[in-house]
Amino acid sequence: MTQNKSDIPSYPHRDLLGIEGLSPIEISFLLDRSEAFVEHNRQQTSKKLDTLYGRTVVNLFFENSTRTRTSFELAAKRLGADVINMTVESSSIKKGETLIDTAMTLNAMHPDVLVVRHSESGAVKLLSEKVNCAVISGGDGSHEHPTQALLDALTIRRRRGDLAALTVAICGDVVHSRVARSNIHLLNTMGAQVRLIAPKTLLPTKIETMGATVYNNMEEGLKDCDIVMMLRLQKERMQSNFFPSTREYFHFFGLTYEKLANTKPDALIMHPGPMNRGVEIDSEVADDYGRSVIREQVEMGVAVRMACLETMCPIGNDDKGASES
Amino acid sequence: MTQNKSDIPSYPHRDLLGIEGLSPIEISFLLDRSEAFVEHNRQQTSKKLDTLYGRTVVNLFFENSTRTRTSFELAAKRLGADVINMTVESSSIKKGETLIDTAMTLNAMHPDVLVVRHSESGAVKLLSEKVNCAVISGGDGSHEHPTQALLDALTIRRRRGDLAALTVAICGDVVHSRVARSNIHLLNTMGAQVRLIAPKTLLPTKIETMGATVYNNMEEGLKDCDIVMMLRLQKERMQSNFFPSTREYFHFFGLTYEKLANTKPDALIMHPGPMNRGVEIDSEVADDYGRSVIREQVEMGVAVRMACLETMCPIGNDDKGASES
Amino acid sequence: MTQNKSDIPSYPHRDLLGIEGLSPIEISFLLDRSEAFVEHNRQQTSKKLDTLYGRTVVNLFFENSTRTRTSFELAAKRLGADVINMTVESSSIKKGETLIDTAMTLNAMHPDVLVVRHSESGAVKLLSEKVNCAVISGGDGSHEHPTQALLDALTIRRRRGDLAALTVAICGDVVHSRVARSNIHLLNTMGAQVRLIAPKTLLPTKIETMGATVYNNMEEGLKDCDIVMMLRLQKERMQSNFFPSTREYFHFFGLTYEKLANTKPDALIMHPGPMNRGVEIDSEVADDYGRSVIREQVEMGVAVRMACLETMCPIGNDDKGASES
């Protein structure tokens, strides 16, 4: 924590592994910290701060992701930290033991923050238990992707002022989506109404127990909602065929102006990217910057990651991290 | 622009996408700026400046190139900028739309300069139209490779004083070569005589209209020339067979001492690298540092890229970049 | 050399290509320098120094190694240097000539230190002869891995105070191991007794001439030794089958508590990593942090690489590097 944060509500966790379990105050704390960085990042002059000068952030990606890695790298460098990128191909590691060995190896090098992405749910948590530095999840399997949910929330909050009274429809490949899970947790915690719209084959069983209303039809599900969050069709995660063709998928579940007509007139369109244009979203709709905030989401991503890195990175003689591990 | 450049002729473009269209004054401006960095880079003490401190340069390479990427990375870091490398494998992207999405994603992160290399001609320009930061081409398809032509020009100018009265022979795989195109533009603009020497299968149609004399025979083409620029045989770009064998190619078009005897006695030997030794150039000729300036070209590359980054990167309240985009 | 090192014994070599040929005073000099960085790296506050501010360290890896590259990168950044990573896939280079061209290309960019790893023995030395900056080997073929031997020595020295009177058993795949070779040189030079324990198929011929006692049986070889260094089974280097199965290998040469019972009661267990758990070492033994110092080795690695980079990187008007090259 930085020195001048002593009078604001503290964030009491060493790590950020998911949204589940965070309180509304903790989420708001991270969003408020992020807010400050948005304008900072827009100025024409030097955007570099020295908040994390001399600190080392390691991007440990067991699953390739140019966008998320770049966003974290940029965020860390803007705060003055040194960044080390490690992309570990899943083919070159044996699971379980080697993950732990990698964690312990890195830990012995005394980094300040580990940003970890892994293709298996739970792997980031497992790794976090073996190190005594802060760990921020960059997404694990189909479990959680907490910084994505935070950047989505920041985007919505800046446009709508408050999350509480909104109806948010999350549409598409819910079963494979860590983005959906993190957003369901966050939106529920902040008092929004969550709807899930997907074909039955792309919905996990008992998903209603997470606190969402389920629809299998876009027209019904989108009715009067404030926010439409489209999900990327995770073709690479599909073990079998979940629907006959992408053409048919687009017909029933792709976001078009026709289907959009069911939402409130000013409903925002969101997508975590990268988009499959013409599959889950019509290209024109995606580029309709009167309503689509897809570019803003990317921009908020850097601000949110700066806030998370600044919050998690222990400063000076604050030894919270060590005592909790 | 740095503060002390107000009294020198300004470079009026936001981007550097090619040499075509640049005026002699603009080319000389970039070469003059480069000149200052050559000695700077040779000193034994710290070579780091703070001209671009706090700025972010993104190396966005859709085509792998360790040499060019390293040269840009070194140049940016020497100027104090932060560098983020993004290598996007062509296999993982769908062309067209995804290029634009990548551009817009990066743009939303507010970088200061994008250095872009792409395997398709025109892709860098297309991308530049979608962003509001400066874009420097690191080479696109067989279109242009402007910093290569600038570094070649700097190398020649430092050795010969002036480009104007020189005869330059560009030899080899002209049809696939962006290096050739950028050099033809630059040399013509600066008043040099350009010759192209290649087998007919490696020459684009109507290449004479670019302002070059064409030869299909090395002995004739090299006669009395001042500079011999060998091109890399772009085997990876060849869709079909352009000549029977590399052995036969070397016999007719490989640069040997025998063929060199036709040039002026002090003609310089150049190659953009990496070389196919024994294919387009004899190994001994390449290493004859009395005449070969191949190592100098690499050295000039860092200086030229420093000049380009310094020139394109908008500083302080100079909002030229934004107003032009 | 830094200014305040004028009164301590100087390290008289431009490069660190291997341990062979280093004097006890030179090895102790590097270990003493490393020692200072160990505590530095453990502090909670900023670990960044400005010793190498403005210097460029290039990690040139012709063989992939996330661990070693990360350790060097972290070390260089902690000293304030800029780091450029170049991973050159062996498939993309033709041997010999291209190695030299890569060296000359990099040299022309005026880096301060090159850290080089290569899959062929001798390649790093060959490359060092073509450049006029300092070269530190990150391991070459089955020849040497000098920083690994130094970090092993630092780990032992901190635990045992002195290397001189110790008996060290190096066990396993000696024939493919540059770690073994560098350690044999270092331990012999510092006055330790070296034993090699391996099946005959994993021992090079005439290895005794290096100054080591050879055993083909773990129980005998481990008897009363102070240090057990396990080697990674280099499966990727094996051209043919050296033993029937990993299961049989573990039975005869895997380190278990049963075999450990033969050593001195407080013998340290070491492994350069990454471990093949259940092949050359029992998983429980590896994690027995009463005796296993495997994590400490990784930690010492960063300190040793900081010391080597600081020592080899020419500072200010000290032109030793240039005059020797």
Q: How many Å apart are CA B60 and CA B138, to the nearest integer?
A: 9
**Pick from A38-47, A124-133, C129-138: least confident:** A38-47
Nearest to B313 by CA among B23, B80, B46, B19: B80
Count the Cβ atoms, other than its own, within 10 Å of residue A325: 16
> Which residue stretches of chain C are H helix?
24-42, 66-78, 97-108, 123-128, 146-160, 178-189, 218-222, 246-253, 257-260, 283-286, 294-312, 320-324
Closest CB from C55, C97, C108 relative to B46: C55
Full strand arrangement of the beta sheet holding C213-215: C213-215, C193-197, C167-171, C227-230, C268-270
- For residue A57, pLDDT over 90 is answered with yes
Cis bond leading into A24, ω under 30°? Answer: no
Q: How many Å apart are CA B122 and CA B142, to the nearest integer?
A: 9
**Chain-chain contact of A84 with C77 (C-beta, under 8 angstroms):** yes
Closest CB from B55, B101, B109 relative to A299: B109
Amino acid code (one letter) for C150? L
Q: Does C80 touch chain A (CB under 8 A)?
A: no
Count the Cβ atoms, other than its own, within 10 Å of residue A246: 15
Closest CB from B101, B110, B314 relative to A274: B101
Closest CB from A101, A109, A319 relative to C74: A109
Closest CB from A46, A48, A298 relative to B109: A298
- In this complex, the chains that touch C, judged by 3 or more CB pairs closer than 8 A, are A, B
- The band of A324, judged by pLDDT with boundaries at 50, 70 and 90, is very low
Contacts with B88 from chain A: Cβ below 8 Å: 66
Nearest to A28 by CA among A318, A296, A307: A307
Closest CB from C73, C277, C299 relative to A97: C277
Contacts with B55 from chain A: Cβ below 8 Å: 46
Chain CA centroid to CA A11, Å:
18
What pLDDT digit, counting tens, does each position of A137-170 carry?
A: 999 999 999 999 999 999 999 999 999 999 999 9
What pLDDT digit, counting tens, does each position of A207-241 carry?
A: 888 999 999 999 999 999 999 999 999 776 665 66
Closest CB from B88, B105, B111 relative to A273: B105
* C195, HSE (Cβ side, Cα atoms, 13 Å): 24
* Maximum distance among all Cα pairs of chain A, rounded to whole angstroms: 58
Contacts with B73 from chain C: Cβ below 8 Å: 84
Contacts with A109 from chain C: Cβ below 8 Å: 70-71, 74, 298-299, 301-302
Task: Name residues 285-314 of chain A within 8 A of C (Cβ).
Answer: 314
Q: Does A120 touch chain B (CB under 8 A)?
A: no
Q: Does C316 touch chain B (CB under 8 A)?
A: yes
Q: Does B36 touch chain A (CB under 8 A)?
A: no
Q: What is the pLDDT of residue A244?
A: 76
Q: How many Å apart are CA A76 and CA C75, to the nearest integer?
A: 18
Q: How many Å apart are CA B148 and CA B274, to the nearest integer?
A: 13
Q: What is the pLDDT of residue A45?
A: 81
Q: Which two tokens stand for residue B8?
A: 């020198």
C88 to chain B: closest CA residue = B66
pLDDT in tens, chain C (325 residues): 344 444 445 789 999 999 999 999 999 999 999 999 999 999 888 889 999 999 999 999 998 888 999 999 999 999 999 999 998 875 455 444 578 898 999 999 999 999 999 999 999 999 999 999 999 999 999 999 999 999 999 999 999 999 999 999 999 999 999 999 999 999 999 999 999 999 999 999 888 889 999 999 999 999 999 999 999 997 766 656 667 788 889 999 999 999 999 999 999 999 999 999 999 999 999 999 999 999 999 999 999 999 999 999 976 544 433 333 3
Q: What is the pLDDT of residue C90?
A: 55
Contacts with A301 from chain B: Cβ below 8 Å: 109
Q: Does B54 touch chain A (CB under 8 A)?
A: yes
**Chain-chain contact of B322 with A44 (C-beta, under 8 angstroms):** yes
Give the orientation angle of helix B178-189 with respect to helix B146-160, to 10 degrees.
50
**Chain-chain contact of C74 with A55 (C-beta, under 8 angstroms):** no
Mean pLDDT, range A40-68, rounded to an integer: 91
Query: Residues with Cβ < 8 Å from A318, sequence gap 6 or more?
Result: A1, C44
Q: How many Å apart are CA C273 and CA C137, to the nearest integer?
A: 18
Q: ipTM score here? A: 0.90
Q: Does A113 touch chain C (CB under 8 A)?
A: no
A296 to chain B: closest CA residue = B108
**Chain-chain contact of C74 with A317 (C-beta, under 8 angstroms):** no
Distance in Å, alpha carbon of C308 to nearest chain B alpha carbon: 18
- For residue C115, list its beta bridge partners: C59, C136
What pLDDT digit, counting tens, does each position of B67-87 carry?
A: 999 999 999 999 999 999 998
Mean pLDDT, range A197-204, rounded to an integer: 94
Q: Does C82 touch chain B (CB under 8 A)?
A: yes
**Chain-chain contact of A82 with C42 (C-beta, under 8 angstroms):** no
Q: How many Å apart are CA C78 and CA A51, to the nearest integer?
A: 16
What one-character-per-residue DSSP string does B103-154 give?
Answer: HHHHHHT--SEEEEEESSTTHHHHHHTT-SSEEEEEEETTTB-HHHHHHHHH
**Chain-chain contact of B110 with A277 (C-beta, under 8 angstroms):** no
Closest CB from B45, B78, B275 relative to C316: B45
**Chain-chain contact of C82 with B273 (C-beta, under 8 angstroms):** no
Interface test with A, best of C42, C47, C89 (most A CBs within 10 A): C47
Q: Does B88 touch chain A (CB under 8 A)?
A: yes
- The band of A314, judged by pLDDT with boundaries at 50, 70 and 90, is confident
Q: What is the pLDDT of residue A299?
A: 98
- For residue A99, pLDDT over 70 is answered with yes
> Strand runs (DSSP E) across A119-180, as ranges?
134-140, 167-171
Q: Which residue has the tokens 């780990």?
A: C155
What one-character-per-residue DSSP string does A34-90 give?
Answer: HHHHHHHHH-SS-----TTTT-EEEEEESS--HHHHHHHHHHHHHTT-EEEEEE--G
Contacts with C84 from chain A: Cβ below 8 Å: none
Closest CB from A44, A74, A299 relative to B319: A44
- For residue A257, pLDDT over 50 is answered with yes
Nearest to B67 by CA among B272, B232, B230, B296: B272
Q: Does B3 touch chain A (CB under 8 A)?
A: no
C77 to chain A: closest CA residue = A82
Contacts with B301 from chain C: Cβ below 8 Å: 109
Q: How many Å apart are CA B164 and CA B151, to the nearest integer?
A: 16
Q: Does A316 touch chain C (CB under 8 A)?
A: yes
Contacts with C44 from chain A: Cβ below 8 Å: 314, 316-319, 322
Full strand arrangement of the beta sheet holding A134-140: A82-87, A56-61, A113-118, A134-140
Q: How many Å apart are CA A313 and CA A316, to the nearest integer?
A: 10
**Pick from A96-100, A226-230, A286-290: least confident:** A96-100
Distance in Å, alpha carbon of A303 to nearest chain B alpha carbon: 9
Listed as ranges, residues in chain B with pLDDT below 50 are 1-8, 91, 95-96, 317-325
Q: What is the pLDDT of residue C238?
A: 62
Q: Does C6 touch chain B (CB under 8 A)?
A: no
Distance in Å, alpha carbon of C238 to nearest chain A alpha carbon: 17
> Strand runs (DSSP E) across chain B, as ranges?
56-61, 82-87, 113-118, 134-140, 167-171, 193-197, 213-215, 227-230, 268-270
- Asked if residue A30 lies in contact with residue A151, where contact means CB atoms within 8 angstroms, the answer is no
C276 to chain A: closest CA residue = A98
**Chain-chain contact of A44 with B108 (C-beta, under 8 angstroms):** no
